[in-house]
């Protein structure tokens, strides 16, 4: 133990301006002791951290009294033998009681405690919540928190783009003075807490760009001052609650790109919002989106028992009628289909040929095709439905076989407006000039009166989507890495080496084609731009690419290189897991593939995302690959790497050894 001189050392905590105790001024050393004890107590009250040192006789014993992570210091030494033990113990008890009573004075406010509980339910973030200290008296100085200056009540919680991963705690409903809640573009999963309906002062609620599931709580209709509500780009299901029609101050409303069904409320302010507020929900109906609802006649009020019986009988009758009707309808359709096939089959086989003749012309971009326009048009004239090898959001794809055995893929794009030709040829000239090892080359196009027929190289391996999800033979780990690397190289070339640079806008497994050696090539690059921003935004969502789209693209429809990077990250996860981004196993848990990865990462279970059918998985390359994918699917575009950087990481940390010719441009 320290000597008496050392014991006095901690008295440096005593500030020079602190008062003395004049009624003990004649007791010299003993005055010093009491002065130190009480002065250190004052220091503690200002936040000084130390310990309580109790000395009896020549033996010293250290006692620590903690109050809200703050302690007290009381000093004495062997010179105090003239004081009785009772006085020392009495002093100790007084200081201890003061410490305990002051704990109530410095306790965290109820709003602060609600936010602490909110933080507890978030196991993952970028560190933004680390400085939320429970020992503070209020949360007003915390990151993302704003308070009323007088009442110290929380009025705003703003934490977008911070990779917050977890559920939204119902304790958020205890912030009854909250006016603004911005939690958008994070990785929240689970349901929207109904307790939010208790935040009756709420004016803005932004939860878009997360992985929230379940239904929209009816309680959100209890927010009379709500002006802005955005729940878009989640995995919400069920119907839009009629209670939202009571929000008379609602100025903006967005529930697009979810899995909502049923009739949109037809009363209140919701009737003022158009199609953009509901886009991407395939089973919604209502006048807002010009989609009629197939509803029965109005119900007649009655007693609960009779209404229940009528409901049951009605359901049985409807069920039986629907079954019989469905069987009759199927039989009728089969009969009618056979009739049309026999009567109109020959005409249908010539439908594509009629489209290219007369007035069709062939424009070739690469002079290495030994065919004349006449030879190609002749083959186009005999194409029919038997030559279809695929279809997508941008058109139907046909297999075009020439007499010498060479095969090409023909993509048919219908002209969408009168001004279609004015920029189409200019854009195709740019796309036709792009030639790269990991891109599907555009050889030329046929300009017909009603459509454009794009001629591409044909790849015998089919699409990556087919290989991953429709074939019994599975790619091993090495083959999957090769596919990922090829797709990354192709996309990096579009972003960084083309002039002008090309944004793909629709990266997905069906747009990654494979040759006979399973080498990947990116297809359909630049086609989204040909439809225009608005049309391509709608087409990509409707065409089934919802799971690949970056949150900011689904909200604004504006594509950048970073939206492609996000889609590439999703593609990597699809290749690793062997499951589509919106696989039913994810949706049942309330996630898509990105939300599932974030959840597994928060549980330290990322290995579980790997396809169990994939052989020869290498742990080291897997860890590096998942790290790259995680960066690519970051909520904030600014946090995503460029494709050039992605290629560098893949080459240095994933591909070992890296093929030296992986970035050749031929």
Q: For residues 553 and 549, what is the distance between their CA atoms, to the nearest angstrom?
A: 7
Residue 211 phi, psi (nearest 5): -125, 40
**Distance set, CA 665 to CA 493, 513, 655 (Å):** 8, 18, 19
Contact 1, 58 (CB under 8 A): no
Q: For residues 175 and 115, what is the distance between their CA atoms, to the nearest angstrom?
A: 9
| CA angle centred on 414, ends 409 and 416, rounded to 5° | 145
**Closest alpha carbon to 41 in 101, 98, 106:** 98
| CA angle centred on 430, ends 425 and 434, rounded to 5° | 135
Q: For residues 398 and 387, what is the distance between their CA atoms, to the nearest angstrom?
A: 5
**Closest alpha carbon to 278 in 261, 266, 299:** 261
Q: For residues 224 and 179, what is the distance between their CA atoms, to the nearest angstrom?
A: 12
Decide: residue 177, CB within 10 A, 0-12 exposed, 13-18 middle, 19+ buried.
middle
The string of DSSP codes covering 98-123 is HHHHHHHHTPPPHHHHHHHHHHHT--
Q: For residues 393 and 539, what is the distance between their CA atoms, to the nearest angstrom?
A: 6
Q: For residue 494, what are the contacts with CB-CB under 8 A and spacing of at least 6?
A: 434, 439, 501, 502, 503, 504, 522, 525
Q: For residues 138 and 143, what is the distance between their CA atoms, to the nearest angstrom?
A: 12
Six-digit token string for 248: 């008379």
Six-digit token string for 276: 């953009």
**Closest alpha carbon to 232 in 256, 250, 253, 214:** 256
Contact 444, 482 (CB under 8 A): no
Q: For residues 570 and 580, what is the distance between their CA atoms, to the nearest angstrom?
A: 9
Residues known to be catalytic: 506
Q: For residue 557, what are the contacts with CB-CB under 8 A and spacing of at least 6?
A: 533, 534, 537
Q: For residues 242 and 270, what is the distance between their CA atoms, to the nearest angstrom?
A: 10
Beta-ladder partners of 55: 60
Q: DSSP character for 67?
A: B
415 is in an annotated binding site: yes
Decide: residue 227, CB within 10 A, 0-12 exposed, 13-18 middle, 19+ buried.
middle
Ranges assigned E (strand) in 129-214: 145-147, 154-158, 165-166, 180-182, 187-191, 204-206, 211-214
- Binding-site residues for ATP, please? 415
- Binding-site residues, please? 415
């Amino acid at each position: 133990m320290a000597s008496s001189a050392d014991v006095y050392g901690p008295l440096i905590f005593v500030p020079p301006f602190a008062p003395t105790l004049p009624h003990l001024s004649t007791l010299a050393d003993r005055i010093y002791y009491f002065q130190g004890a009480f002065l250190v107590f004052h220091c503690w009250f200002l936040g000084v951290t130390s310990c309580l040192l109790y000395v009896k006789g020549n033996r010293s014993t250290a006692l620590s009294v903690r109050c809200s992570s703050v302690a007290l210091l009381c000093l004495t030494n062997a010179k105090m033998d003239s004081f009785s033990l009772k006085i020392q113990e009495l002093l100790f008890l007084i200081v201890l009681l003061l410490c305990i009573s002051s704990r109530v004075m410095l306790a965290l406010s109820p709003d602060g405690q609600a936010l602490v509980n909110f933080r507890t339910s978030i196991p993952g973030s970028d560190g933004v919540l680390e400085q939320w200290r429970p020992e503070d008296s209020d949360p007003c100085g915390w990151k993302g928190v704003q308070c009323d200056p007088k009442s110290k009540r929380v009025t705003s919680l703003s934490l977008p783009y911070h990779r917050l991963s977890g559920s939204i705690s119902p304790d958020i409903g205890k912030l009854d003075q909250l006016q603004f809640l911005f939690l958008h573009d994070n990785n929240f999963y689970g349901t929207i807490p109904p307790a939010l309906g208790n935040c009756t002062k709420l004016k803005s609620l932004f939860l878009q760009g997360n992985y929230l599931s379940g239904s929209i709580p009816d309680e959100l209709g209890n927010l009379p001052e709500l002006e802005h509500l955005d729940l878009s780009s989640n995995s919400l299901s069920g119907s839009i609650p009629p209670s939202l029609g009571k929000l008379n101050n609602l100025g903006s409303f967005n529930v697009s790109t979810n899995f909502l069904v049923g009739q949109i409320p037809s009363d209140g302010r919701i009737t003022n919002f158009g199609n953009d507020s509901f886009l991407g929900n395939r089973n919604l109906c209502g006048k807002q989106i010009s989609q009629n609802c197939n509803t029965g006649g109005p119900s007649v009020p009655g007693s609960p028992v009779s209404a229940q019986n009528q409901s049951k009988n009605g359901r049985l009758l409807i069920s039986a009628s629907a079954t019989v009707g469905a069987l009759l309808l199927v039989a009728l359709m089969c009969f009618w289909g056979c009739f049309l096939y026999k009567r109109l089959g020959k005409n249908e086989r010539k439908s594509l040929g009629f489209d290219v003749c007369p007035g069709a012309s062939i424009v070739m971009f690469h002079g290495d095709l030994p065919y004349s326009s006449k030879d190609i048009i002749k083959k186009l004239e005999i194409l029919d439905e038997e030559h279809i090898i695929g279809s997508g959001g941008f058109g139907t794809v046909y297999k075009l076989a020439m007499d010498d055995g060479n095969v090409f893929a023909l993509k048919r794009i219908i002209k969408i407006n009168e001004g279609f030709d004015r920029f189409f040829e200019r854009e195709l000239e740019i796309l036709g000039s792009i030639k790269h090892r990991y891109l599907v080359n555009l050889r030329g196009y046929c300009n017909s009166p009603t459509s454009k027929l794009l001629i591409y190289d044909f790849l015998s391996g089919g699409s990556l989507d087919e290989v991953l999800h429709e074939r019994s033979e599975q790619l091993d780990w090495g083959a999957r890495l090769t596919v990922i690397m090829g797709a990354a190289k192709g996309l990096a070339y579009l972003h960084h080496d083309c002039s002008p640079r090309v944004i793909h806008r629709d990266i997905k497994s069906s747009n990654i084609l494979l040759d006979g050696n399973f080498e990947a090539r990116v297809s359909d690059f630049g086609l989204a731009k040909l439809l225009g921003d608005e049309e391509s935004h709608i087409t990509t969502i409707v065409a089934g690419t919802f799971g690949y789209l970056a949150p900011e693209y689904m909200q604004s429809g504006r594509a950048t290189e970073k939206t492609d990077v996000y889609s590439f990250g999703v593609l990597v996860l699809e290749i690793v897991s062997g499951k589509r981004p919106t696989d039913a196993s994810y949706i049942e848990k309330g996630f898509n593939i990105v939300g599932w990865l974030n959840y597994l990462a928060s549980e330290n279970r990322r290995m579980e995302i790997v396809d169990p059918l994939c052989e020869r998985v290498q742990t080291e390359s897997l860890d590096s690959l998942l790290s790259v994918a995680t960066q690519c699917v970051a909520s904030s575009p600014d946090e995503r790497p460029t494709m050039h950087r992605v290629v560098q990481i893949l080459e240095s940390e994933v591909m070992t050894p890296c093929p030296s010719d992986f970035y050749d441009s031929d």
